[in-house]
Structure 1
Amino acid sequence: MKLKDLPVRTGFIAVLALFGTLVLATALFGIYSLTRTNALSEQTNTLNAETVDLKDVYINNLKTRSALSRAYIALSANPADKDTAVAAAQGYYDVAKKAFSAFEAIPKETADQQQAANRVADAFHTHANAIDQLFSAIGKNDVTAYAQTNEGPMTSTSAAFGKSADAFFTVASRESAQLQNAKAQNATLLKGVAVGLLILSCTLIVLVYYALDHTVVLPLREAMNVLAHVSRGDLTVAIRHESTNEIGKLFESMREMKRSLGGIVQAVHGGTDTIATGVHQMASGNTDLSQRTEEQAAALQETASSMEQLTDTVRQNADNAKQATQLVRSTALVTEQGNRAAHDVVLTMQGLSDLSGKIADITNVIEGIAFQTNILSLNAAVEAARAGEEGRGFAVVASEVRSLAQRSAGAAKEIKERITDSLGRVEAGTQQARQASQVMADILTAVNRVNDLMGEIAAASEAQSSGIEQVNRAIAQMDQVTQQNAALVEQASAAALALDEQTVSLKSSVSVFRVEVART
């Protein structure tokens, strides 16, 4: 695979992985070197601590022996100073034992250290035994025992302890020098590796710069050059870069863009003439349409004037119909009142007829009473005649009663005849009143029908007036729409002129682009 065909993403991942590996290696080596240096420093510090502790043991042992010697001298010269010297010796001795315990507690790193430390421990315990004997002799004020111990075991054990301590110091000095050499070697190695990594990093930076310059920077510069030509309208610039990575796809997209722009520019070149022709035709058509729209607006205005006159006429008819309806309603009310009066007359005549019938019944009763009274008077006269002289007065009374009964019967008969005549006349009046009531009812029905018809005429006139008003409003709206259409047509004409100017400007703008001529 050629370098220019390497995908940009893969290249960046490879560079990041390479530098990441380099950083990781540097970090791991740095951690190793730091750990190694810390270990060597810790070992050196341990040796130094052991040396210091052992020196403290040796020095405090000497101080203990010296204090005991002062106590020994005080036994013969000044016994009062003995206790002070013994206390000082005991303090030094305790410090020495404490320092030796610290020395023993420190772990020994090598076998040589351990062997030398073992010899030091043996010598210290022997020497400590001799020191304990000196303390015992001084405590007992035994000058002879002190002198024998001091000249014998004390001197020999002190010399042995000193030799063992010197041997440990020699081992510690040698191992300390070895540790210093190891630290120096580790530092040298660290410097060498750091220099090597620095050189490797510089080399990788140069290689990465070269790779990025040839795979990304130079192709992008070429792309910028192509885009600069395209921005100036030069679509004839050649795009020569060939690769299969993202940069190559970018250049392929740019080729496609150049071809598309060339096609668009050629299409615009070809379409501007067509647009100009269409714009001229549109302007001419808009002029004709504007003229026809104005004529239509004038016709609508005349129609609106005629409809207004018709509206006034229909409105006047509707008002007349309303007035006629009101008159018919008044007539209907009067007729209804006459009908009610005729009905009342019929009811009154019916009452008179009923009353005459009752009076006839009463006269019949009177006639019956007169007839009975006449019969009774006849019977009384017959009985009076039979009585003779004694019934004469009763006969006179019976005669008067008979006379009254006959006159009552005559009067009742005359009343009956007159009541019968009145009943005939009342019946005739009742029949005429009924006929008059029926005629009034028929008149009321006819008047109500006329009222309904006049109401329907008024409603129809009202509806016709409303419809004509709606037609009038529609015509007014049509007139307004026509006026708006006329204004829109004028705007369209102005827009067509502006579009013509824009077409000219578009042709001028597109003429800036240079496109490749198609080869045949």
Structure 2
Amino acid sequence: MKLKNLPVRTGFIAVLSLFGMLVLVTALLGIYSLTKNNGLSERISTLNAETVDLKDVYINNLKARSALSRAFIALSTNPADKDAAVAAARTYYDLAKKSFGAFENITEETAAQQDAAKRVADTFTAHANAIDLLFTAIGSGNVAAYAATNEGPMTQTSAAFGKSADAFFKVAEDETAQLKDEKAHAKSLLMGVAIGLLVLSCALILLVYYTLEHTVVLPLKEAMSVLQHVARGDLTVQIRHESSNEIGQLFDSMKEMKRSLAGIVHAVYGGTDTIATGVHQMASGNTDLSQRTEEQAAALQETASSMEQLTSTVRQNADNAKQATQLVMSTAMITEQGNRAAQEVVATMQGLSDLSGRIADITNVIEGIAFQTNILSLNAAVEAARAGDEGRGFAVVASEVRSLAQRSASAAKEIKERITDSLGRVEAGAQQVDKASQVMADILTSVNRVSDLMGEIAAASEEQSEGIEQVNRAITQMDQVTQQNAALVEQASAAALALEEQTVALKSTVSVFRVERALAPA
């Protein structure tokens, strides 16, 4: 496995384990060295303690012998000082035995120490027995016994104890020197091992630093550089890394992030172009729609105004139709009266036709008839005048009747000569009156039909007026809705313009990113 493919976690665990082992070895070595040095120091301290105790025994024995010598001298020179000297000797002797007891309580480590200590113990026992004899001789005041003991056993045991003590001192000195040498050797070994561990630690530190620098730090710096390029919007930066550890996985994730971000930016580029085009078209369409809606609103207002005028006109037509219906009804009444008058004239003319055969006998009657005919003609003229245009033909007839009556009155004298002509004229007048009666009947029928039609026109005009009012209300509502639609279109146009501005801003923001040519927007 290549070093660059080593997982970072495994590397850190290995480094920590290695340094942990170094720390453990150093700790164990330190504990071992400390234990050994403590053991050596304790052994040296034990030897020193035994040497000190033995020296105390030797010195206190010498002091006890010296005090006993002063007590011996005091026996012959100053007996009063004997007790003080003996007490001092006893004190020194007790100290010597106490020091010897401490010496014996110390355990010897080596066989040489044990042998030397045994000889010291044996010589000290013999020497102590000799000292006890001296204390006995001094206590009894036996000068001869003291002198014999002091010159014999005392001198021999003291020499033997001194030689054994010197032998022990020699053994202790040799072993102390040996222990000091071992301690120095252990110290040198420990120093060498410590220096070796220090050198190994330095080498491991350099190796770890080199490894981290090339497997972690430099790739992380490269990753930081890539991320800085991406943060500046540069998506064209190349990401090259061949390791398969966590750093390699990081670079693979960065490559995937770059591809995804480039795709998103490309999609945003395309989306912003499409949105910008759509929003621009929407804004243009909204502007056109707003103008058309305003034009439609104006047209609806004009239509509403026209419908109001039309409503007013239809109402006037309805009123006029009602008035015309009333006039037609009045005309129908007048026409009916004229018809009755015409029927009466027809009856009269028929009577005249019947009486024309007897004109020769009743000339006077003819004058009366002429007078009455004149009156009737005047009435007929009045009725014809009341009938207006419809009674114009009747007025003509009435005028002719009046003319005939006048002529009948003026020509009464000539009736006989013109009786034949008069009969013809009477017959002609009767036919004209029949025609007039028929015309009046037709006029009455037409007037009735006109009255019916005018009633229907008036009803239709009222219905038309109501329908136009409803249409007017609907157009008014359409005008309001159209105005609201115009306001909404203006709002939509403003929103489209704002969206277009936001799209331009978004496109400007996204334009910070630079992508490869394959993904760059057209």
TM-score, normalised on structure 2?
0.61
1:330-349 aligned within 5 A: none
Structure-2 residue corresponding to 1:30? 30
Aligned residue for 1:239, secondary structure, equals coil
Q: Counterparts of 1:141 and 1:104 in 2: how far apart (Å)?
A: 34
* Shift in Å, 1:505: 2.7
Structure-2 residue corresponding to 1:441? none
* Shift in Å, 1:292: 6.0
Structure-2 residue corresponding to 1:116? 116
* Shift in Å, 1:277: 2.6
* Shift in Å, 1:81: 1.1
Q: Counterparts of 2:482 and 2:189 in 1: how far apart (Å)?
A: 101
Q: Counterparts of 1:484 and 1:111 in 2: how far apart (Å)?
A: 125
Unaligned residue ranges in structure 2 (runs of 5+): 305-479
User: Residues 35 and 491 from structure 1, CA distance in 2 versus in 1: closer, same or farther, beyond 3 angstroms?
Assistant: farther
Q: Counterparts of 1:485 and 1:117 in 2: how far apart (Å)?
A: 128
Greater radius of gyration (CA): 2
* Shift in Å, 1:273: 2.3
Aligned residue for 1:109, secondary structure, equals coil
Answer with 495-504 or 146-155: which moved more: 495-504
Q: Counterparts of 2:178 and 2:53 in 1: how far apart (Å)?
A: 21
Say if 2:290 and 2:490, in contact at 8 Å, map to a contact too: no
Structure-2 residue corresponding to 1:74? 74
Letter of the aligned partner of 2:14 in structure 1?
Answer: A
1:200-247 CA distance string (max 9 Å, x none): 011111111111111112212222222233233322222121221111
* Shift in Å, 1:253: 1.1
Say if 2:275 and 2:503, in contact at 8 Å, map to a contact too: yes
* Shift in Å, 1:268: 1.8
Say if 2:293 and 2:486, in contact at 8 Å, map to a contact too: no
User: Residues 488 and 8 from structure 1, CA distance in 2 versus in 1: closer, same or farther, beyond 3 angstroms?
Assistant: farther
Aligned residue for 1:177, secondary structure, equals helix
Structure-1 residue corresponding to 2:143? 143
Say if 1:137 and 1:143, in contact at 8 Å, map to a contact too: yes
Answer with 164-173 or 484-493: which moved more: 484-493
Answer with 93-102 or 497-506: which moved more: 497-506
1:473-484 aligned within 5 A: none
1:186 aligns with 2:186: yes
Q: Counterparts of 1:9 and 1:183 in 2: how far apart (Å)?
A: 44
1:234 aligns with 2:237: no
Aligned residue for 1:54, secondary structure, equals helix
1:317-356 aligned within 5 A: none
User: Residues 95 and 254 from structure 1, CA distance in 2 versus in 1: closer, same or farther, beyond 3 angstroms?
Assistant: same
1:19 aligns with 2:19: yes
User: Residues 137 and 291 from structure 1, CA distance in 2 versus in 1: closer, same or farther, beyond 3 angstroms?
Assistant: farther
1:372-402 CA distance string (max 9 Å, x none): xxxxxxxxxxxxxxxxxxxxxxxxxxxxxxx
Structure-2 residue corresponding to 1:131? 131
1:92 aligns with 2:129: no
* Shift in Å, 1:162: 0.6
* Shift in Å, 1:483: 9.8
TM-score, normalised on structure 1?
0.61
Answer with 63-72 or 98-107: which moved more: 63-72
Q: Counterparts of 2:188 and 2:68 in 1: how far apart (Å)?
A: 54
Structure-1 residue corresponding to 2:204? 204
Structure-1 residue corresponding to 2:7? 7
User: Residues 493 and 56 from structure 1, CA distance in 2 versus in 1: closer, same or farther, beyond 3 angstroms?
Assistant: same
1:313-347 CA distance string (max 9 Å, x none): xxxxxxxxxxxxxxxxxxxxxxxxxxxxxxxxxxx
Letter of the aligned partner of 1:511 in structure 2?
Answer: S
Q: Counterparts of 2:154 and 2:119 in 1: how far apart (Å)?
A: 17
Letter of the aligned partner of 2:150 in structure 1?
Answer: N
Q: Counterparts of 2:489 and 2:114 in 1: how far apart (Å)?
A: 118
* Shift in Å, 1:166: 0.6
Q: Counterparts of 1:134 and 1:291 in 2: how far apart (Å)?
A: 152
User: Residues 491 and 43 from structure 1, CA distance in 2 versus in 1: closer, same or farther, beyond 3 angstroms?
Assistant: farther
Structure-2 residue corresponding to 1:249? 249
Would you say how many aligned residue pairs link Structure 1 and Structure 2? 340
* Shift in Å, 1:117: 0.4
Q: Counterparts of 2:96 and 2:486 in 1: how far apart (Å)?
A: 126
Say if 2:130 and 2:149, in contact at 8 Å, map to a contact too: yes
Structure-2 residue corresponding to 1:277? 277
1:495 aligns with 2:495: yes
Q: Counterparts of 1:165 and 1:483 in 2: how far apart (Å)?
A: 135
Structure-2 residue corresponding to 1:514? 514
User: Residues 81 and 496 from structure 1, CA distance in 2 versus in 1: closer, same or farther, beyond 3 angstroms?
Assistant: same
* Shift in Å, 1:259: 1.2
Say if 1:60 and 1:93, in contact at 8 Å, map to a contact too: yes
Q: Counterparts of 1:97 and 1:511 in 2: how far apart (Å)?
A: 106
1:31-78 CA distance string (max 9 Å, x none): 111111111111111111100100111111111111111111111111
Structure-2 residue corresponding to 1:221? 221
Q: Counterparts of 2:485 and 2:20 in 1: how far apart (Å)?
A: 76
Q: Counterparts of 2:515 and 2:224 in 1: how far apart (Å)?
A: 19
Q: Counterparts of 1:485 and 1:181 in 2: how far apart (Å)?
A: 113
Aligned residue for 2:242, secondary structure, equals coil
Q: Counterparts of 2:506 and 2:279 in 1: how far apart (Å)?
A: 14
* Shift in Å, 1:290: 10
Letter of the aligned partner of 2:186 in structure 1?
Answer: N
Say if 1:290 and 1:489, in contact at 8 Å, map to a contact too: no
Say if 2:120 and 2:168, in contact at 8 Å, map to a contact too: yes
Aligned residue for 1:224, secondary structure, equals helix
Unaligned residue ranges in structure 1 (runs of 5+): 303-478
Q: Counterparts of 2:157 and 2:491 in 1: how far apart (Å)?
A: 131
Structure-2 residue corresponding to 1:475? none
User: Residues 186 and 486 from structure 1, CA distance in 2 versus in 1: closer, same or farther, beyond 3 angstroms?
Assistant: farther
1:402-441 aligned within 5 A: none
Q: Counterparts of 2:491 and 2:110 in 1: how far apart (Å)?
A: 109
Letter of the aligned partner of 1:253 in structure 2?
Answer: S
User: Residues 484 and 70 from structure 1, CA distance in 2 versus in 1: closer, same or farther, beyond 3 angstroms?
Assistant: farther
Say if 1:290 and 1:490, in contact at 8 Å, map to a contact too: no
Structure-1 residue corresponding to 2:373? none
1:361-510 aligned within 5 A: 490-510=490-510
Q: Counterparts of 2:484 and 2:47 in 1: how far apart (Å)?
A: 111
Q: Counterparts of 2:154 and 2:484 in 1: how far apart (Å)?
A: 138
Letter of the aligned partner of 1:36 in structure 2?
Answer: K
Letter of the aligned partner of 1:209 in structure 2?
Answer: Y
* Shift in Å, 1:488: 6.5
Q: Counterparts of 1:112 and 1:247 in 2: how far apart (Å)?
A: 69
Letter of the aligned partner of 2:144 in structure 1?
Answer: T
Say if 1:60 and 1:96, in contact at 8 Å, map to a contact too: yes
Say if 1:226 and 1:239, in contact at 8 Å, map to a contact too: yes
* Shift in Å, 1:112: 0.5
Say if 1:71 and 1:86, in contact at 8 Å, map to a contact too: yes
Say if 1:8 and 1:245, in contact at 8 Å, map to a contact too: yes
Q: Counterparts of 1:68 and 1:483 in 2: how far apart (Å)?
A: 146
User: Residues 130 and 487 from structure 1, CA distance in 2 versus in 1: closer, same or farther, beyond 3 angstroms?
Assistant: farther
Q: Counterparts of 1:242 and 1:257 in 2: how far apart (Å)?
A: 17
